Amino acid sequence: MPQKNASGLEGIMAGETALSTVGKEGLDLTYRGYSIRDLAAAASFEEVIYLLLYGSLPARAELDRYRSLLITLRDLPPPLRVILEQLPPTANPVDVLRTGCSALGTLEPEGQDRDAHAIANRLCASFPSMLLYWFHFHRNGRRIETRAEAHPTVADHFLYLLRGEPPSALHARTLDAALILHAEHEFNASTFACRVIISTLSDFYSAVTGGIGALRGPLHGGADEGAMKLLERFSSPDEAEAGVRKMLEKKEKVMGFGHRVYKDGDPRAPIIKGLAGQLAEEAGDRTLFPIAERIESLVFSEKGLYPNIDFYSAVAYHFLGIPTFLFTPLFVISRTSGWAAHILEQRAHNRLIRPLAVYTGPAPRPFPSMEERS
Ligand code: SDX
């Protein structure tokens, strides 16, 4: 018996996953049973990628080997570098990754000598290289070396490629935790897009390209950039309160707030807020973080809405010196690990994903000749 029509599939159980628990009554957000709090506090992003892709946390020797593998996968094939150089400097950087993913799929197609795990690792390792190769080519006219083997973690690699110098321990650790918090989140829109695509037996790159397209939207992964643009409009908490109050009166959406699943708060938000607070403290900030906190308390008091992961991620990335237009690409870099795990899981128990629709069109009618049409 078909279920009733739920717009946006709200509240619909659209399948099973063993990868994470999101918003289940009383259950903390966990990745394969490990609390996000424990992972953000004590794991590295590479351990989380490994956990999602291979099902268990790596032992020390496995982690070292895995990091060495990812380092070797950071290089970009020459034709891909040419393509990245041909993309305009004005391109949306998420589109650069969407194009890079699609192009790599033609250069290193999935097949006998390249299985899904190999492609997952290749994309997790090379997306930072693609993004920052394009960025420096157009921003500084430089063709950067992307392997940077002296920087063994994804967070360290990203910040080093971005700045051209090693990040501080606090900055590397903070980005590492942020990447962990963004890695996986059950059947969110972009992950579900990946699963729909792979359920047709399409290839790995097509699924990830589709996921990138879905994450790009401001209702999903693009909210972090929207939150930063909002925060930058104000120079004091009072000004922010007045401005956001006007937005709410006009029924405008405040980026970085609300969530389809979490109605009592996104468990990732307090963690990323704490990290953002540390960075604000280190930067001697007396403005941006208080503005963010004032907006948080206003949106809650006026709409009963909590910040989601994107709101304070924007603050943290700002204090890491990451340009706003690179915020959502960072979400892509992190979520590729979750997408990859869902692609593997969907393939392991595949059934074509094809829901029903409630018909709301015209009743059956005769076909009119051209003369009869007005
Ligand atoms: C992510 O699904 C995931 O897991 C996603 C994610 C992940 O890790 O993959 O968690 C990452 O995408 C987080 C969400 C990032 N997006 C934003 O921050 C954009 C702003 N948020 C909203 O657009 C909204 O909250 C959604 C899209 C996130 C959820 O929207 P829903 O569940 O469709 O709820 P809704 O739009 O129907 O809103 C219900 C009410 C409405 O008010 P009324 O019309 O009933 O009076 O709440 C209001 C909305 O207007 N509302 C907001 C609001 N979010 C909801 N009002 C102002 N600002 C907001 N942000």
Say how far apart CA 205 and CA 186 lie, in whole Å.
Answer: 20
- If you take atom 14 of ligand 1, which residue's CA is the nearest one? 220
Q: Which domains does the chain have, with CATH numbers?
A: 30-217+328-348 (1.10.580.10), 223-319 (1.10.230.10)
The token pair that represents 362 in the structure block: 């015209």
Q: What is the pLDDT of residues 111-132, one digit of tens each?
A: 989 999 999 999 999 999 999 9
| Residue 136 annotated as catalytic | no
Report the pLDDT value the prediction gives residue 162, as an integer from 0 to 100: 98
Q: What is the pLDDT of residues 262-290, one digit of tens each?
A: 989 999 999 999 999 999 999 999 999 99
CA atoms within 13 A on the CB side of 234: 23
Q: What is the pLDDT of residues 178-219, one digit of tens each?
A: 999 999 999 999 999 999 999 999 999 999 999 999 999 999
Report the pLDDT value the prediction gives residue 1, as an integer from 0 to 100: 52
| Residue 259 annotated as catalytic | yes
H helices within the chain, ranges in order? Answer: 36-42, 45-54, 60-72, 78-86, 93-107, 116-140, 154-163, 169-182, 189-198, 204-215, 223-231, 237-249, 268-282, 288-303, 309-319, 327-348
Mean pLDDT of 72-84: 98
Single-letter residue type at 63 = L
Overall pTM surpassing 0.85 (yes/no): yes
pLDDT grade for 3, boundaries at 50, 70 and 90: low
Residues with CB under 6 A from ligand 1: 8, 185, 188, 219-221, 223, 253-261, 303, 305, 308-310
- Single out the residue of 8, 22, 19 nearest to residue 355, CA to CA: 8
| Residue 171 annotated as catalytic | no
The token pair that represents 83 in the structure block: 């393509």
Say how far apart CA 304 and CA 37 lie, in whole Å.
Answer: 24
- If you take atom 11 of ligand 1, which residue's CA is the nearest one? 220
Q: What is the pLDDT of residues 319-336, one digit of tens each?
A: 999 999 999 999 999 999
Instruction: Using DSSP bridges, classify how beta strands 34-35 and 30-31 pair: parallel, antiparallel or unpaired.
Output: antiparallel
